[in-house]
Amino acid sequence: MTAVFARKGSRAHLTPGKARWRAIAAAALVAAVLAGCTGEQFQKGYILPPGALEQIPIGASQDQVLIVMGTPSTVATLDGEVFYYISQRSERKVAFMNQQVVDQRVIAIYFDKKRQVRRLANYGLQDGKIFDFISRTTTTSGQELSYLTPLFKLLSFN
Residue-level pLDDT at 90: 81
Would the pLDDT of 83 be above 90?
A: yes
State the average pLDDT over residues 1-13.
Answer: 52
Euclidean distance between CA atoms 21 and 120, whole angstroms: 62
Predicted pLDDT of residue 42? 80
* Residue predicted with more confidence, 68 or 18: 68
The number of residues in the chain equals: 158
Phi, psi dihedral angles at 100 (to 5 degrees) = -120, 130
Scanning the chain, the segments in alpha helix (DSSP H) are 16-35, 62-69, 142-156
Domain spans of the chain, in order of start: 40-156
**pLDDT tens, position by position, 91-150:** 888 777 787 777 788 899 999 999 999 999 888 876 656 666 666 566 555 556 666 766
Q: What is the pLDDT of residue 157?
A: 42
β-bridge partners, 110:
82, 119
- What average pLDDT is seen over the chain? 75
Say if CB 82 and CB 114 are below 8 A apart: no
pLDDT 10s digits, 23-63 = 776 766 666 555 555 578 888 888 888 889 899 999 999 99
For residue 105, CA distances in Å to 43, 95, 96, 147, 155 come to 11, 25, 26, 14, 9
Q: How do residues 109-118 score in pLDDT, each as one tens digit?
A: 999 999 999 9
d(CA 37, CA 11): 31
- Residue 131, pLDDT score: 67
- pLDDT band, residue 151 (cuts 50/70/90): low
